[in-house]
Amino acid sequence: MNTYFEIDDLSPFIGSEIRGLNLSKPIAADTLSELRRVWLERKVLFFLDQQLTPDQQVAFTRQFGEADKYPFLKGIEDNPLVAPVLKLPEETINFGGVWHSDTTYLEFPAAGASLYALEVPPLGGDTIFCNMGTAYEALSQNIKDKIDTLQAVNTSNKAAVSKTRSHRLADSGDRSAPEVFTHVHPVVRTHPESGERTLYVNEAHTSRFDDWTEKDSEPLLNELYQHARKPEFQCRFRWTLGAVVLWDNRSTHHYPINDYHGYRRLLHRVSLKGSRPV
């Protein structure tokens, strides 16, 4: 029985609000161990009403692994590990506004990340998360047999997601980053901590199956994308000032909803370095 903090599950299969922790301070070892267990099980944790400096957000996130710089942005002044996720009132495109798992185009994709809300619109801008372990388990055996041994090519320059980065690359892009990252990873990944099998292709970054053409890959990939975002695998989070979200990128997809034109929205993101998917 957990005695360290309160847990309120947002949906049956993914997402829990955690109450009773102040993330600006180091978390005691026994509490952190229990929190990590809940994180791996529930995939996404939500903490409300926090007050964090950038350094405190980095320190909190580092309790779950090695912090890593987001490859395309310089980061905020004096702290390159903190990437601003910003949409300005005059902009109609939101950063990362495609269903995705972060940085799967890297050799070592992000294990997870934290987001901290500094400015939010009065309504809108929710984020939806999906459980890719539950999604894989719900596939038919016929589909599992097709994909269990496949590899997929993941790239950073697919048109839909590249468009969502355009404003931030123009004003805060890291010019030292390669123009394109590409790596091949398993279509079905084994989680390095839980051993869970998870669906590991995503609409933003997966271009095709390895040794298949894009045309031949498209029907099966689209079937997997549509399956992965079924409502029964989802939770939806409404952002409030001071909210912190910590998600396991190895077992989730997420989608930031772009329904708040005319308002400024600013989140700070800190990434966790991951391992090579197997």
pLDDT at 2: 80
Catalytic residue among 205, 254, 265, 268: 254
Beta bridge partners, 73, equal: 173
Domain ranges of the chain: 6-272
In the block, tokens 């161990």 appear at: 33
In which element (H, E) is residue 248 found? strand 244-248
Q: Which amino acid is at 60?
A: F
**Is 100 considered catalytic here?**
yes
Q: What backbone torsions phi and psi does residue 117 show, to the nearest 5 degrees?
A: -85, 115
Residues 6+ apart with CB under 8 A from 140: none
* Confidence at 3, pLDDT banded by 50, 70, 90: confident
How large is the average pLDDT for residues 80-84?
Answer: 95
How large is the average pLDDT for residues 122-146?
Answer: 98
pLDDT at 177: 62
* Confidence at 161, pLDDT banded by 50, 70, 90: confident
**Is 254 considered catalytic here?**
yes
Catalytic residue among 42, 100, 205, 265: 100
pLDDT at 180: 87
Question: What is the DSSP secondary-structure string of 90-109?
Answer: T----TT-SSB-TTTTSSS-
Residue 171 confidence (pLDDT) above 70: no
Cβ atoms of 150 and 209 closer than 8 Å: yes
Residue 169 confidence (pLDDT) above 70: no
pLDDT at 175: 65
pLDDT in tens, 12-56: 999 999 999 999 999 999 999 999 999 999 999 999 999 999 999
Q: Of 170-184, 218-232, 260-274, which gets the smallest average pLDDT?
A: 170-184
pLDDT at 80: 94
* Confidence at 1, pLDDT banded by 50, 70, 90: low
Catalytic residue among 167, 205, 253, 269: 269
Number of Cβ atoms within 10 Å of the Cβ of 124:
16
Residue 176 confidence (pLDDT) above 80: no
Beta bridge partners, 184, equal: 153
How large is the average pLDDT for residues 71-88?
Answer: 92
* Confidence at 168, pLDDT banded by 50, 70, 90: low
pLDDT at 62: 98
Catalytic residue among 42, 68, 102, 167: 102
Pick 6-272's CATH classification: 2.60.40.1170, 3.60.130.10, 3.40.640.10, 3.30.1490.100: 3.60.130.10
